[in-house]
Structure 1
């Protein structure tokens, strides 16, 4: 709950998270509610109400009654004899922008100069000025000036705390936010935990990152980074990794069980770590990135040769030239900065090759004789073909990397989209791995079927029957025991279900603004509506 001063500041700043809502008045309600409105911040009801006439904030708790509100009405000079029953709009509590004091141009110019000096003297990014934290600091200092005597010159250094004081405040702030997050986690019944671990090649220190993802009752997605921890156990065995993750989750009153999903990479250690007492889902982006890494860097996979010789030669030559440009600082003479290849960056090969392609014609003027010979051996047309091929993978990774909304329903159609992009030949080991190693799980089929634009499976008609069977099985599993005598959904193989989509071939366009749109179903023909479908037919009709 916010304090009175904090709510007043939100009103002054016209914060969009604050709402003024007129209460619903019933015959049993007190008459005072015709003159007051509730205050909500981020959809959380506060312990303050606002007078509709004088706009004063008053504390109100249901346990205390409305006596204090009645006293305010009797003393408020602006209360009208007739009160409007319409919902109060928040605009009436905000002053018109026309009435805001004008800031002199001289003051604006001085602030502009001071911001430029701040960025230059402290080596800070220009975007720092627009950061939430910087704006809050500037507003606090500005507000402090209202309470200081005008006649005296105040040294701002007396307002700013010592770095040690700030470090101590950070610990207090962390403890406060940690307790708030613990109180939120205690109420979660179902959630997803994302786990990743890596090792610093320079220091040898191993780290483990854990994040939490939860959808509340209002279908809003919340993402929390629980921490990036130093892995301090004796070994990296699966048992120790599981023990380490569970200990960190217990700090937030969380524990792994059959209702909890774990998303991790697909290394053997992670497969063993989260094999039991949770539902592990492999990171699809990790699947894709590993296959692309194998294509450019491996000669053999599972004792089978990787037949990507031309692509690997191209990759190594570009990588060598990029490394030279980074060391010699000659990239300052080009329109774009070259990017080195990183195994940990998703589709790192594409980003390196694409930037190289963009500045291809500029390279001949900055390379020395040795690297110029390597440059002349490159086939620009082949480089364009490789970048065009990898671009589809990059678009898929971007679609699956959204952190604002769930992406689980996108996995199956985008998986099939990549398979359609790759022409799998009998001796093509790498293309076959994209189909055999990247194994889809039941949740991918179910979530795809439940999406209105993907339910016909026109991108992958051969997968529809499996998805239908899985959804029917889940429906049966959730049926109440009291309905044992009622109609039961008949689980039959969906291959016998009449469907016109299995005979359709999905025509894919090579380039679109959104690759996911290529996977959506075509608009279906209008059918005669069924007024009261039976339970057995409802899922099939869907």
Structure 2
């Protein structure tokens, strides 16, 4: 019995590690208690003789020719108060998004409501829940949910704002170094390039800024490529000297201005 329990715990551990994955019930499985469980498959998509409850995430053994259904029916009644949960409620995120457009519509509706609450509770702009950055955030959350079969408390994965701020600065430094290497390589191949400026003002803070952009013409493809170098606060004195200083600091002394 101890060995059998250990085997179930091993299955659950491999699910959490992503070695094993859950999948929907077989089409021929019509019993109502099936809506409470997901089948489990290995990395080769072979179904193994275990099921996982979609509410408490317990692992139960199941073999078509050997296992009766009374244990599973009883478990479903205990977990969901006498009845099996709805099919939509029990689907894991991967299965739900692979279903027909009807299921996707329901998921989009639920997500839209969550976004509305996010904007309302935190007084965020509606544009906050739009754009490439927000897509990256959502995809990251979906990937986290897919890798873990057990519920995750949102607070446990939300970082402190200070941590986010430090990470932003680190990402900026990493991207700048990558861009410097790219520019150094390009400048060896091209002869035409120019630095342009764009003056703009933040209507909320009334602060003025000057964006410095490097543009280069690729002679082979006849294509203009632009890369933003820096954004300088217009209120600073000695603007020309400030721009040169910023670019030199930005380039980490890899690009020399003559």
TM-score (ref. length: structure 1): 0.25
Q: Indicate the structure whose relative CO is greater, using CA pairs within 8 Å and at least 6 residues apart.
A: 2
Report the structure, 1 or 2, having the larger strand content: 2
If you compute each CA radius of gyration, which structure gives the higher value, 1 or 2? 1
